[in-house]
Chain A
Amino acid sequence: MYPPRFDYVAPTSLEEALDALAEHGDEGKIIAGGQSLIPMLKLRFASPETLIDINRLPGMDGVSEEGGTLRFGALCRHNQLGAHPLMTSKYHVVAEAGTLIADPLVRNMGSLGGSLCHADPQADWGSVMIALKATIVCQKKGATREFGAAEFMEGIFTTKLADDEIVTEIRCDAANGGFGSSYLKMERKVGDFATCGTAIALTLKDGTIASAGVGLTAMGAKNLHAEDAEKVLVGQAPSAELFAEAAEAAVAIADVREDSRGTPEYKKNVLRTFMKRGLAKAALRAQA
């Protein structure tokens, strides 16, 4: 399998990259980790005129938690986040997704920003960022736009991103005490996209759930924001009954089809099960 012809530029600063985007418009395409784009090129599902390689942009792969904000550079690699001490100790939903996406080799290259921009409804980061109520920062020459994660992803492989924009950063509120999160993914084998994934973030205050974030993977035409499930949870004390009720609220928005991963009933059942398990796990962490 061989990609079609294209030109290639490798800017070394954000300004250069934004200039290149402005110049090439819809004929240009950013390449980050290339772990979605190159397979698409090989299958000839994509045929951009120019690839703009952002791997040489400095400082795009940083992670920081400062002044109440958690920031991820768009070029953070899946593995980097999966192994990051801050994630493995505090933001488990990130660490867990970071080690469940694809396989170790893909994770060494694939980036957070690339995954969000690719907007595969079976991809994992979108759900995580929905659960964290993250903001996605899009920049173009002379302008910056910001979107909530749920809003950013519009549908299968489509986002709010304009042709001349680049995602530079993803950020969310840093967690204070009482935060617990989890990511559960059913995959048939390593390297498989999700049959179902649940991203959950909870904050407990005085024994009740003060805030809840729930994102769902592979349950519809995009990563779903399970708002009703969140509503069920907020203001309540964690309990098995509550989690079951939230699970039903999540199942209610799932729109799934039969394929080799299973029937719709089966997929909804997995979602139900994972919601309950994922909530319990997150709540336990929040209480720890």
Chain B
Amino acid sequence: MAENVYILGINMTKFGKHADKDVVDLGAEAAMAALADAGVTMRDMGILAAGNLMNAGAGFGQRLQKQIGQTGIPVYNVANACATGATALRTVIMAVKSGEVDMGLAVGVEKLAGAGLLGGGGTPKKDSKVWEPSGRFGAVAPTDGRIGTDAMPGTFAQVGMEYGHKYGEVSFETFAKISEKNHAHSVLNPLAAYSKRFTLDEIMNDMMIAYPNTRPMCSANCDGGAAAVVVSETKLRTLSLGQQRRAVKISASVLTTDPYEEGCQILPNVNTLTRNAAKIAYEQAGVGPEDLNLVELHDCFATAELVHYDNLMLCPEGGAVEFFESGAPWRDGSTPVNVSGGLQSKGHPISATGIANIWEVCHHLRGEAGDRQIEGAKVGLAHVIGLGSACGVHILEKSAA
């Protein structure tokens, strides 16, 4: 029987603009706060897994050690698109579960403020003076914008529209209402990059990015870091009662990729790998979707949140619109979703996201979420998707101790 594993300490920095801090500063801030929250030091860590997607080749983990403590432990620098943080956490969980180490640290950090819309940037590509085929499609000119879109807002817009084609058209207004919910939730989150409530009209009449996603319906690029200390159950039992009481059980930790299906290389299929991860996670944890007191899911765009209600089986297949319209995912509903404000308002500093959503869930399970506390929360789920694709799902449970 593999070891049970717990979150012993966890932290996220304020998401937003941190002009005076670089990625190492932000990572160090989150890491040291997570260690302090856990009541341990770098000396106790057996492994460090670290993610910073925008500079994935720069050895962020080792740079972080030089800032907070060089003890000679192995560092795993991980990169897995928007699932980078969840991958770092899962790397530490695997090491602890295997019994190789009894404690480890996972850190994810990104600096994106001012980077514009996710996937909407890039440098201008010039058409050549002589048509010359290049690349895997033998293209003589850039294909982005000529053969569909390469950018995230349009890609995820199509994901939502495809759901509508399959199960019955979803209106622009429904997608906008999802965003209205998350922005309303964010008002209670002091660490969110944006905590402003928008009216439905304001959301629908804002700048259109890729129909049906307007600007407030897209995740907010920002700076931020998050870190978590993972501990084995055996080690946890040797620690103080206070530490044991605040420890959060990781009942399921799953990472999947997209299996081959027709069309998956034309439009990324973010559905099947999420559904697969959810199925495995519910089985590992021995809980069902109906047992969840809160869910933090990867709402990189309003259109994405809708399909993940279904993929995480929070509703019957094809029933995402009905689920949403019932009020279920609002913070006072039956399955609160993204009470942090989600990526649309809390922000999406890529590598931090997959740990920050775990922090949100832990915060409620520990009963420390203040004004936005979901009363009596005992079980929560955190989900991320990295295009390409990778999906991380973690189920967390309030400590029995």
A and B held together in a complex: no
